Amino acid sequence: MPHFLVALHPRALKPHASRPTRQLLLANRAHACTCCATQAIVALPAYLFVETFQQLLPVALGFAAGCMVSGGEGVQTRAIPWMP
């Protein structure tokens, strides 16, 4: 069934008579907290990584721009020379 017709399905048009149970609400809350915990764990190492390598950013961007401008002239056409 195409995705735009799913909303017209008879089950989708029925009003939901049942409410979520307390157990389901607690499970949803626990799942949301568990999924967001990784973001808090990785935030500090990511910040320290960015602060550490921020001085190399102009050099890295200059290198990338030079690669794009040169267009690969004088470079081998195959990525791995010994592969046929």
Tell me the pTM.
0.41
The answer to whether 12 and 6 have CB atoms below 8 angstroms apart is yes
Tens-place pLDDT, residues 6-63: 556 566 555 555 667 888 888 888 888 888 888 888 999 999 999 999 999 899 888 8
Tens-place pLDDT, residues 50-78: 999 999 989 988 888 888 876 656 555 55
Residue 71: which region, alpha, beta or left (left: phi > 0; alpha: psi -120 to 50)? left
- List the chain domain ranges: 19-69
